[in-house]
Structure 1
């Protein structure tokens, strides 16, 4: 099949599907993320560490709800962060069964460095969009996933 024929089929069928464009954008974004951070950290663990950074004292259950992660997937990730010295677990003041999560100083430094690299990569990736277009894209995408 020629590239022109494939382009015609894509425009005729896939080109009208929002999900197709979301997947293409997601694949592109993941490749850009990998380009920025290499093997340093993957997107989901980065998200979890950012949630801990932005919400000191968050619980694992709260992270699971916010990031839509199952406990079975989150628990080993948190154990890995703990073993690497990236997070600190502190007991809740009222219910000592609950552990509040905080970044360690090492974790805060790592997240700050990774975030700076991701922000720089996003500038390159989304540089064709002006600030208003970026804000609109974020609002529209958030409406889709928040209504889910």
Structure 2
């Protein structure tokens, strides 16, 4: 079996090898092992081979989305831990919404700081250009 074939378990659930998920999500094997060490992913093992379920794949999608949006791993872990399909994931959705709104506020504040820095830098560059032009004209 090569690294691109999918495992099928006894329940006919689609499973994935580490290399498949790494390729699909454009992450390194080390990244997947890191998330496993942080207990964000919990693949089965057959010998030394990690076997990821569809659930692990969905969790990885959430982890990577959280990372792109600037969430801490602790925040992502909290959201993942609240998964409860029997309740309709109400608590998970509420916490996700709360953390999402907090992160949006942080990002907007960061953008304001960046905009101010950009404005200041542009003014400084104009000043340097004027000073250089004056120095070169002498």
TM-score, normalized by length of structure 2? 0.27
Which structure is larger by alpha-carbon Rg, 1 or 2?
Answer: 2
- Normalising by structure 1, report the TM-score: 0.26
Q: Which structure would you say has the larger RCO, counting Cα contacts within 8 Å and 6 or more residues apart?
A: 1
